[in-house]
Amino acid sequence: PKRLPHTQPPTHTPSLQLLMPPKKFYAVAVGRKRGIFESWGECKEQTAGFKGAKFKSFKSRDEAKEFVTVHTPGSLDPPEKRRRVDHSENEAKAVSATVLSNAPASVLKIRFNFDGGARGNPGVGGAGAIVIASTDIYGSAHVSENVTKLREYCGHRCTNNVAEYYGLKIGLISALKMAQQFSKACRAARSAAAEAEREAWEVRLSVRGDSNLIISQMLGTNQCRSENLKPIYKQCKALVGQLKSLAEGSKNKVVEVNFAHVYRKDNSEADALANEAMDQKRSWETTSSQNRKKESTELTQGEESIEEVKNEILKVEDV
């Protein structure tokens, strides 16, 4: 019999569009250069190693543009696409607001380490926190640097975890009061005629502790199920919420709070403060401040009771 020629079954070749991954748009709100980039390499170049970088990928350019607009002041449209402005009274105000929104912001940087412990678990408990703040008011002739050392006696029937949370709580209270004072100082320092400029400031808080439990619960990666810890856990979450609420309703205000775990060897100062509280069975704090000016440096040190210092933790001279 005659053999038929061998033929292969037809194969379906997927289109090039199906083979290619979906296009992404990378929005950089805070970085070396903010804007929208079409490759991860470009985005990484603007954000890698940049402290406080804020970026995200989107499937559409409009979504990416909205992200940058919400998280940073100013417009992303290139100059050639902007409407030509006739300098009438109302339009001149709009131009002024745009310029001011891009002006250098006043910055308050706070970092604190916290710790706590109990001798007996439960037993005599103490907590400690060391809070370091650097304040740079826009238009000021100096930078203020403050170190606050907090010690909190937690009673004679305290557990280790409760004491750890007390360390976090006193640090957050101190940071909140500093941020509130900073916000008031910014309003006083800015020109009375420049409302947008007066509102431009940033607060960046970095919290470090050696308790994996506390850090993971504050980050939300671990739930707080202990009835013994829930009250103070909620208090700490509320303090973080109060901090972030200072920037609500304004594109020119930024409050960032981040938590990270550190090893005990990197938390020795906070541990020492907690032990001082347990040794003396009392709560108090010490403060030191340094104002760095262009030509001179002033150093002041003092020790006050914890109740007195919490009323006015951060002092900034009016400009």
- Scored b (16 or more CB within 10 A) or e, 213-243 reads bbbebbeeeeebeeeebeebbeebeebbeeb
Domain membership flag for residue 184: yes
57 and 135 inside one domain: no
The per-residue pLDDT for 11 is: 53
Indicate the pLDDT class of residue 23, thresholds 50, 70 and 90.
Answer: confident
- Could you tell me which residue, 75 or 262, shows the higher pLDDT? 262
307 and 242 inside one domain: yes
How many percent of the chain have pLDDT more than 70? 70
Check which CATH number belongs to the domain holding 38 and give it.
Answer: 3.40.970.10
Average pLDDT estimate for 245-262: 90
Is the pLDDT confidence value at 313 over 90? no
The per-residue pLDDT for 58 is: 87
Domain membership flag for residue 15: no
The CA-atom distances, in angstroms, between 197 and each of 70, 116, 249 are 18, 41, 15
pLDDT tens digits, 224-251:
999 999 999 999 999 999 999 998 887 7
Domain membership flag for residue 84: no
Average pLDDT estimate for 59-83: 63
Domain membership flag for residue 18: no
Is the pLDDT confidence value at 187 over 60? yes
Tell me the C-alpha distance between 225 and 213, whole Å.
11
305 and 159 inside one domain: yes
64 and 121 inside one domain: no
Indicate the pLDDT class of residue 5, thresholds 50, 70 and 90.
Answer: low
Burial class (CB in 10 A: 0-12, 13-18, 19+), 81: exposed
Residues 6+ apart with CB under 8 A from 13: none
Q: For residue 132, which amino acid is it?
A: I
Considering only CA atoms, which of 250, 212, 240 is closest in space to residue 101?
A: 250
pTM for the structure as a whole: 0.60
165 and 209 inside one domain: yes
Task: Count Cβ atoms below 10 Å from residue 47 Cβ, excluding itself.
Answer: 21
Is the pLDDT confidence value at 16 over 90? no
pLDDT tens digits, 83-95:
443 444 444 444 3
The torsion angles phi and psi of 152, rounded to 5 degrees, stand at -130, 120
Mean pLDDT, the chain, rounded, equals 78
Check which CATH number belongs to the domain holding 116 and give it.
Answer: 3.30.420.10
Considering only CA atoms, which of 265, 254, 274 is closest in space to residue 152?
A: 274
Residues 6+ apart with CB under 8 A from 68: 27, 28, 29, 34, 35, 36, 76
Is the pLDDT confidence value at 259 over 90? yes
Domain membership flag for residue 79: no
The per-residue pLDDT for 1 is: 54
- Could you tell me which residue, 121 or 293, shows the higher pLDDT? 121
The per-residue pLDDT for 236 is: 97
Give how far the C-alpha of residue 115 lies from the chain's centroid of Cα atoms, to the nearest Å.
Answer: 20
204 and 57 inside one domain: no
Question: What is the residue range of 176's domain?
Answer: 104-191+199-292+301-314
Q: Report whether 248 contacts 195 (CB < 8 A).
A: no
- Total structural domains within the chain: 2
Considering only CA atoms, which of 48, 6, 7, 2 is closest in space to residue 28?
A: 48
pLDDT tens digits, 195-207:
544 458 899 999 9
Quick check: helix, strand or coil at residue 80? helix
Considering only CA atoms, which of 261, 229, 260 is closest in space to residue 160?
A: 229
Domain membership flag for residue 211: yes
The per-residue pLDDT for 219 is: 95
The per-residue pLDDT for 76 is: 41
Domain membership flag for residue 14: no
35 and 172 inside one domain: no
164 and 120 inside one domain: yes
38 and 153 inside one domain: no
The per-residue pLDDT for 10 is: 53
171 and 307 inside one domain: yes
Pairing of strands 142-153, 284-293: antiparallel
Residues 6+ apart with CB under 8 A from 5: none
177 and 46 inside one domain: no
Domain membership flag for residue 97: no
282 and 146 inside one domain: yes
Pairing of strands 25-30, 54-58: antiparallel
